[in-house]
Amino acid sequence: MKGTNVLFSFKTTLILLAILAIGAGYATFIENDFDTSSARVLVYNNIWYETILVLTTVNLMGIIYKYKMWRNKARFIFHLSFVVILIGAGVTRYAGYEGIMQIKEGATENRMSSLEPYLQITIKENGNTYYKEYQKEFTTLLKSVNDFAHTILYGDNKKIDVVYKDYILAKKGSAKMGLLTVDVTVDGKTQEIKLPGQRGQRGLKRELFFGDTTVVLSYGSKTLSLPFAIKLNDFQLDRYPGSNSPSSYASEVTVIKDNKEYDYRIFMNRTLHEGNFLFFQSSYFPDETGTVLSVNNDPGKWPTYLGYFLLTLGLVLNLFDKKSRFWKLTKYVSEKNVASLAIACMIAFASTSANAEERVMENEVKAQSTVEYLKKFKEESKVTANKFSKLVTQSQGGRMKPVSTLNREILLKLSGRKSLFGMNADQIVLGMLSRPEMWRDIRLIKVKTPKLKKFIGIDEKRKHIAFSEVFVEGNYILNKEAEKAAITKPQDRGTYEKDIVRLDERLNITFATFNGNLFRIFPKPEDKTNTWHVPLDAMKTFEGQSQRAVELMTRGFINSVIESDWEQANKFIDMIKLYQEKLGKDVMLSDSQVNNEILFNELDIFLKLTLAYIITGLIMLIVAFVVVFNPKIKPRKTTFFFFIVLALLFAAHTFGMGFRWIISGHAPWSDTYESLLYISWSAVFAGVVFFRKSLLALSAAVIVAGIFMFTAHLTGIDPQITNLVPVLKSYWLTIHVSILTASYGFFGLGAILGFMALIMFIFRKNRPHLDETIKSITAINEIALIIGVTFITIGNFLGGVWANESWGRYWGWDPKETWAYVSIVAYVFVIHMRFVKSLNNPFVFSTASLLTFSTILMTYFGVNFYLSGMHSYATGDPVPIPTWVYYVVSIVFVTIALAYKNRNLKDAVTSIDNKKAKK
């Protein structure tokens, strides 16, 4: 009985959750630093981790019984769902298997290669054949774990011993396979053999001879036969126009089973289901003559799906259950007139600084002989530049966009500005195209570090240089420095090296702009790939009438601009547009699409919102300090005013997200920039929808939004609208990512609220009125975390459904998946700490909610830029951690330490429950 009390206790639950989270998180670093097999062998597939999962399931079942959770439907359903999911996962894990099937066009295949590696041993003696196999995977981290010794009996009481000796894994990106070394002993004679092979690859067979006995060994994937066959009728690959990037690929197949046939089309996000087998369009032959299908045999699918359904149902019902913790907290908060304390580490940028820089730039230009040209060009080019901006161009990735968008991207990249010398980007780029000999001497290329300025030989106060200033007698003075910076690992680059790399890139863009090599504005006649070409290439490669037309339009347009014949220049632009509409009609944008994107660019909603969020947060911070330390003030009107302000900002944010969706053609949370915008949106959504009566929550919401929006507009994050890779063209992406990423806003809100509470703990001595404020903050914090956990859990498991429907498996322990799982476990831990008496207080909860946000940061930033995986943006060496991160971490831990001495304060909702119980 005592043993069951320990096993079925909440302390045990928290311990098991902590082990699961820490183990999985550490495994991602093992995988990144060593290899995937090491992570699987040491953690994911190891008996100790599977034992913890089983104990967690048993613990959960015991708690469900011990506390008779079936009395509360919502709580019972979502707790039971985890048991069902784990059972389904166990069935899939131990009864299912995965593999790869390769089929050439016109061929029929019923075999596949297993994903799991096997040591296969075949013994041949006197015409008899004996076969034995062992599923094996090895680690390069702790090789002692790899040890094995197998004895195989065959023939007339004969035996063969196979003993592990060594395993070397192939390096990442290498075409070579791993190498397993074993000793084989027959009749007392031992021979060593090396077997090339590893997980997911078919091994090479090797033979050993012991007199009349031949032993054939191999290590790697084995061949599995299917109870049916698949014939590939046709493989189809579509690319984005003018690009080598695949837009989609599909396999037209015929399934042949029991003398019956049916046709099916397999493509991204459309999986073939045949019995328990799922076939996903994984890849294709390099020569595009065949298909590569991922295969998954999944007998645990329906138990798992049932668990997912129960999970979603239970979590949603919990938000509407009046007996739930969530409702107790919301009722407690609604009864309080909550004051606020907000913390904002952001500094609003003065609008006058841009004007001051403009004046400095003008003074720099005045020192040059080109000033008269610029004055005249500025006034006369507006109409022509505007018409020029509405032409359509094709990006390297195949996206069709207005020239206006490209012009903005060029100027932002070169100068960090959206206008210069009183001219917009369209005028600047038009000038660079038409008069490069003038613009090469104009200072519009940004440079930062004093050391680089000194190397170039310019005044350290200057912020921009001219293209001509890095060339001396025709020689590029940065050549050697740029080469040194380029070969330096990213984490070893200082600000000087980074500035050189950026400047070298800007100079290349400037040169390409001078030559028109960024403007793919001319479609080629009868080109099935819909590739558009830059003017110089078009004049060289086009033939006949098209070549002559392109040359006439290009030279005529440029000469007209040079001669300031604006009316003639406008006519040539009209000619180019007609040419685009006639020969590029398959991919040409409509006038409304062009105008919408130009309007979206001009509105610049998100940058303006960033400033608005930061300034609003700063003002709310000041108001909050006044209110908190003056308890007599009743800030109802102030709270309502700020609610209206945030509601308007939220409306603008929503409009901007929708506008970007219309322009891009996909949900606006498909890359780093868009997802940061969406997290900011979800934070403000949490404030204005769930916590609109609390000035505290509104303050925290706008601060979270400001931080993420500011991060989105850092120079390292690309805001460009791009095409989607094939696998992301799915409605599952919209559902999965929108729900999952929305949780980050709530968790960010919780982290800020936790930090606010800790600040108040520091000052609560001799200020008893702060205790109620801390309790209210903690209650709102817990509400935010409950909603966040609901969103991230549902979103993550919907991602499992997407993965299974897209490529035939729910979970692959990819670092992004793993850290999302770690985040769920960590926040479940935080929410359930209240069941352990020593952890049930606002100080512990506030500290935990603040520190646990690090799992979200790791999921979002750490995985994206520091760990390798299919969800990751990291390529090779990770980027160095910014210095400010260390300062922020230091501030957090110093704050926790200072708040610790005043930590004794009971949980608000628990206190309320106790009072009711006494009555």
Place of tokens 């390529």: 875
Sequential DSSP letters for 229-247: EEEEEEEEEEE-TTSSSEE
**Joined tokens for residue 266:** 């397999």
Number of Cα atoms under 13 Å in the Cβ half of residue 435: 17
Burial label for 31, CB within 10 Å (0-12, 13-18, 19+), is buried
pLDDT for 846 equals: 93
pLDDT for 12 equals: 92
Per-residue pLDDT, averaged over 750-759, amounts to: 88
Nearest-5° angle of CA 112, CA 114, CA 115?
Answer: 130
Q: In terms of DSSP bridges, do strands 419-420 and 400-402 run parallel, antiparallel, or are they unpaired? A: unpaired
Whether the pLDDT of residue 1 is over 70: the answer is no
CA–CA dist 385, 555 (Å, integer): 17
CA–CA dist 829, 283 (Å, integer): 40
Per-residue pLDDT, averaged over 283-311, amounts to: 84
Q: Give the confidence band of 775 by pLDDT, cuts at 50, 70, 90.
A: confident
More confident residue, 7 or 758: 758
More confident residue, 6 or 490: 6
Contacts of 55 by beta carbon, 8 Å cutoff, 6+ apart:
7, 16
Least confident of 692-701, 730-739, 747-756: 730-739
Contacts of 665 by beta carbon, 8 Å cutoff, 6+ apart:
none
Whether the pLDDT of residue 149 is over 50: the answer is yes
Per-residue pLDDT, averaged over 470-480, amounts to: 82
- Of the spans 53-62, 410-419, 702-711, which averages the highest pLDDT? 53-62
User: Does residue 137 sit in helix, strand or coil?
Assistant: coil
More confident residue, 534 or 695: 534
**Joined tokens for residue 675:** 């997802």
CA–CA dist 147, 151 (Å, integer): 14
pLDDT for 349 equals: 30
Rg (CA), the chain: 32
Burial label for 335, CB within 10 Å (0-12, 13-18, 19+), is exposed
End-to-end CA distance of the chain: 33
Number of CB atoms found within 10 A of residue 815's CB:
28
Sequential DSSP letters for 615-645: HHHHHHHHHHHHHHT-TT--THHHHHHHHHH
Contacts of 153 by beta carbon, 8 Å cutoff, 6+ apart:
159
Per-residue pLDDT, averaged over 688-709, amounts to: 74
Per-residue pLDDT, averaged over 102-108, amounts to: 93
Whether the pLDDT of residue 416 is over 50: the answer is yes
Q: What is the model's pTM?
A: 0.63
More confident residue, 838 or 361: 838
More confident residue, 614 or 871: 614
CA–CA dist 452, 474 (Å, integer): 20
Per-residue pLDDT, averaged over 541-569, amounts to: 90
CA–CA dist 276, 448 (Å, integer): 60
Per-residue pLDDT, averaged over 879-892, amounts to: 79
Per-residue pLDDT, averaged over 152-174, amounts to: 81
Provide, rounded to the nearest whole percent, the portion of the chain with pLDDT above 70: 82
pLDDT for 732 equals: 54
CA distances from 88 to 69, 84, 688, 689 (A): 22, 6, 39, 37
Q: What average pLDDT is seen over the chain?
A: 80
CA–CA dist 130, 155 (Å, integer): 8
Number of CB atoms found within 10 A of residue 888's CB:
10
What 8-state DSSP symbol labels residue 727? G
Coarse DSSP helix, strand, coil percentages of the chain, rounded to the nearest 5 percent: 55, 20, 25
- Contact 496/452 with Cβ under 8 angstroms? yes
Task: Dump pLDDT digits (tens) for 533-551.
Answer: 889 888 888 888 888 999 9
Provide, rounded to the nearest whole percent, the portion of the chain with pLDDT above 90: 22
Residues in the chain: 919
pLDDT for 691 equals: 67
- Contact 677/712 with Cβ under 8 angstroms? yes
pLDDT for 243 equals: 46
Q: Which residues sit opposite 181 in a β-bridge?
A: 166, 194
Contacts of 585 by beta carbon, 8 Å cutoff, 6+ apart:
none
Least confident of 32-36, 274-278, 355-359: 355-359
CA distances from 561 to 85, 320, 537, 580 (A): 68, 67, 21, 21
pLDDT for 819 equals: 86
**Joined tokens for residue 234:** 């046709």
pLDDT for 670 equals: 60
Nearest to 619 by CA among 636, 642, 635: 642
CA–CA dist 462, 326 (Å, integer): 57
Per-residue pLDDT, averaged over 367-390, amounts to: 83
pLDDT for 48 equals: 92
pLDDT for 214 equals: 92
Task: Dump pLDDT digits (tens) for 496-505.
Answer: 777 888 888 8
